[in-house]
Copies of this chain bind each other. A is one copy, B any other.
Amino acid sequence: MKTKEIKNAVGRMIPIEINGEKIVPFQGVGKYQPKGKKHATDISSNSDFPLDGNKQVKSLKDALIKAGLKDGMTISTHHHFRNGDLIANQIFDIAKELGVKNLRWFPSASFPCHEHLIQYLEDGTINRIEGSMNGPLGKFCSEGKMQGVAVLRSHGGRYQSVQDGEVKIDIAVIGAASADSFGNANAIYGTSTSGLLGFALADSQYADKVIVVTDNMVAFPCIPWQIQGNYVDYTVEMDKVGIPEKIVSGTTKITKSPDRLLLAEMTAQFCEDTGLIKDGFSFQTGAGGTSLSVSQYFREIMKKKGIKARFARGGSNKYLVEMLEEGLIDYILDGQTFDLEGVRSMRDNPNHVWTSPFTSYNYHSKGNFAGSVDVVILGATEVDTHFNANVVTHSDGYLLHGIGGWQNCLFSKTVILPLPLFRDRIPIITDELTTICGPGELIDVIVTERGIAINPLRKDLIEKAKKSNLPIKTIQELRDEALKICGEYKKPKLSDKVIAAIKWVDGTVIDVVRQVVD
């Protein structure tokens, strides 16, 4: 029997229950008032831990057994190793070997390297993934093959869900480039460096049992202790926790695509013309090809104007690091490093600060710093004429991306999406989104190669843009242009079956994704 569905505040039909639990429908930005207390873990006692601080056990299997791995548990991992992760697959190999079933995997994100786990989704070792699915797992899920319903959360939403006790983690496994036997860990030293471990912070603080795994066990103290051993139950040393070249790139390359460069240039020009780039401002440009180029244009503008930024929000890369080192930026507040220069800078420069989803993005706190960022440049797969946007599904209905920090960044002061007007002859600006991930009231500007649309709510920006030579249009005009060029396109065929829920930053459900039918 189909679960009853109701309409939420952005007009999407969503089931009242997902994975057997009642959900709260999205109620509008800032409308849902959380009640209750944060999740409280059991009080531990030092008397139950080795007095000399050495918590090392002989293997990951040993640690998982000691941590009480059993049917139905929630196992969390982080994605700082990205596509070079060697830990998650091993965890579920062990679970399979031990005959454990029905696990919930709660990664901060999954990658193509985790395709290995499809067999465990098929045989019931894993019931479902709650976390973004990039690539093969997304396809598997989109086709309705996962037993449970996927739940996708933003980076901030993931912290929120753990903090609020919405997701209770039984066992967190934290892979680290360096650790000591007490469990202090960082991602700065060693061979499997990824810069920081912020995505694992909530897991360390709130999981029942915490396991730190490293291939570089150092004498106490492992400094900096990005993860504090005081939260850790067991430590494990293994040969190799990640494949370095798949964790961070050796180098970052800026796009050479003329289309993307044009979008980047128009975006930067818009920011200059409307006075968004000013002394002491702050920005986040992200790590995609277009975004990277935007920051290069920002750099030129800042040099020309003789101004500097108070801070840049990373994902960092060598270009951002260069700006820090040139004195164009006072601080990088970094969430993840995308190349080795980012790692080096974070290691050596105290103004290159490691942050976490708690400091940057958690909506259920006394504020986070996303709101302090002046200009943020983000991507999207689709935008509708109300400026609502999609980042998780493609126009063919497939769920192939995670939310990342995207929803959280929407709270920044000005949100700009540089997007091609169409991709593969499918318009990006449309009347109806495949999936709504972010409400249009938080999205200010859409930059396309054929014109720039400003959200009517931003009267200030519309006024300022009048002095600009850039082609300012309405979003309806852009939609019409795209439609004229591409012609009508075939909507994907979807079944009623819900295969994934998209959470908003406050834990409410903003949309669901339905099964793709061939």
Binary contact readout A50-78 vs B (1 if CB under 8 angstroms, 0 otherwise)? 11110100000000000000000000000
B residues less than 8 Å from A221 (CB atoms):
310-311, 331, 333, 353, 369, 372
A228 in contact (CB, < 8 A) = yes
Do A43 and B49 touch across chains, with their CB atoms under 8 A apart? no
Chain B nearest Cβ from A347, distance in angstroms = 9
Binary contact readout A353-366 vs B (1 if CB under 8 angstroms, 0 otherwise)? 10000110011111
Do B413 and A52 touch across chains, with their CB atoms under 8 A apart? yes
User: Nearest B residue to A164 by beta-carbon distance?
Assistant: B43
Interface extent on A, as a size class? 35 or more
Do B182 and A369 touch across chains, with their CB atoms under 8 A apart? yes
Docked Cα-Cα span, A187 to B220, in Å, equals 26
A30 in contact (CB, < 8 A) = yes
**CB < 8 Å: which of B36, B41, B53, B228 contacts A43?**
B36
B residues less than 8 Å from A46 (CB atoms):
30, 363-368, 371, 411
Docked Cα-Cα span, A33 to B364, in Å, equals 32
Chain B nearest Cβ from A168, distance in angstroms = 12
A34 in contact (CB, < 8 A) = yes
User: Nearest B residue to A29 by beta-carbon distance?
Assistant: B47
**CB < 8 Å: which of B52, B311, B351, B369 contacts A371?**
B52
Stretch from A3-11, A230-238, A257-265 forming part of the interface with B: A230-238
A22 in contact (CB, < 8 A) = no
Do B41 and A38 touch across chains, with their CB atoms under 8 A apart? yes
A231-B366 CB under 8 A given contacts A220-B372, A311-B221: yes
User: Nearest B residue to A280 by beta-carbon distance?
Assistant: B219
User: Nearest B residue to A209 by beta-carbon distance?
Assistant: B366
Docked Cα-Cα span, A229 to B294, in Å, equals 30
A451 in contact (CB, < 8 A) = no
Binary contact readout A291-317 vs B (1 if CB under 8 angstroms, 0 otherwise)? 000000000000000000011000000
Do B182 and A223 touch across chains, with their CB atoms under 8 A apart? no
A350 in contact (CB, < 8 A) = yes
Chain B nearest Cβ from A372, distance in angstroms = 4
Docked Cα-Cα span, A51 to B223, in Å, equals 34
User: Nearest B residue to A37 by beta-carbon distance?
Assistant: B40
A469 in contact (CB, < 8 A) = no
Docked Cα-Cα span, A351 to B225, in Å, equals 12
Footprint of B on A, CB under 8 Å?
30-47, 49-53, 55, 163-164, 182-183, 210, 219-221, 223-225, 228-233, 280, 310-311, 331, 333, 350-351, 353, 358-359, 362-369, 371-372, 411, 413, 506
Q: A30-B46, A224-B353 are in contact. List 20 more A-B contacts (CB 8 A).
A: A30-B45, A32-B45, A36-B42, A43-B164, A46-B363, A46-B366, A49-B366, A52-B371, A53-B371, A219-B310, A220-B311, A221-B333, A221-B369, A223-B353, A225-B359, A228-B359, A229-B369, A230-B358, A230-B362, A230-B365
Question: What are 17 A-B contacts defined by CB distance under 8 Å?
Answer: A30-B47, A31-B47, A37-B40, A37-B41, A37-B43, A40-B40, A43-B364, A46-B366, A46-B411, A49-B367, A53-B372, A55-B367, A183-B366, A220-B372, A229-B369, A230-B366, A231-B366
